[in-house]
Structure 1
Amino acid sequence: MMANSQITCEVKAQMGVIGEDRRGWRKELNLVSWNHLNPRYDIREWAPDRSRMGKGVTFTKDEIVVLRDLLNKISL
């Protein structure tokens, strides 16, 4: 990656808020397009004004289905 390159992201759909910390940062599940590529499911923290974001993890549709199935197997 070039030093001057810029990563772009566009939230295509907001799926829901997982949690919020005392500073107002919200951990969210969204459908996000990174660098104008096909949207992926994305879990990360966002600043209250969306000016900054934390590190996150992205999933394809197939991966999010596997994650859902794994979570459904957990006995809480």
Structure 2
Amino acid sequence: MAVKEKDKEITFEVVEHIGVIAVNTTGWKKELNYVSWNGNAPKYDIRDWDEEHAHMSKGVTFTKEETKTLYELLGGLEL
């Protein structure tokens, strides 16, 4: 799929949908996915998506190494 951002086309493919973190009152969902951006190697990605995965909010991406580090950091939290 492709979206335009300030006269620049961004392509993406949701390689794997991992899960929904939260659902907004608008129906958009904060999700963890494994996404390939602009044909590059996929990264773990957290952002809000509309139901069709045609529009998204700004988000954050993590390499596998960064995801491992985040996992370790979260594992040490007392919730």
Task: Answer whether TM exceeds 0.5 for this pair.
Answer: yes
Map 1:28-43 to 2 at 5 A: 28-43=31-46
**Unpaired stretches in structure 1, ≥5 consecutive residues:** none
* Residue 50 of structure 1: how far off its partner (Å): 1.8
Does the residue aligned with 1:63 lie in a helix, a strand or coil? Answer: helix
Does the residue aligned with 2:46 lie in a helix, a strand or coil? Answer: strand
**Number of aligned residues:** 74
2:72 is matched with 69
**Please, what TM-score do these two structures have when normalized by structure 1?**
0.91
* Residue 51 of structure 1: how far off its partner (Å): 2.0
Deviations 1:6-49 (A, max 9, x none): 11010000011101011110000000000000000000000122
Does the residue aligned with 2:77 lie in a helix, a strand or coil? Answer: coil
Question: 33, 47, 52: which one pairs with 2:50?
Answer: 47
Amino acid at match of 2:48: E
**Please, what TM-score do these two structures have when normalized by structure 2?**
0.88
* Aligned equivalents of 1:28, 1:9: Cα separation in 2: 15
After TM superposition, the runs of 4+ consecutive aligned structure 1 residues lying more than 3 A away are none
Counting aligned pairs with the same residue, the percent is: 49
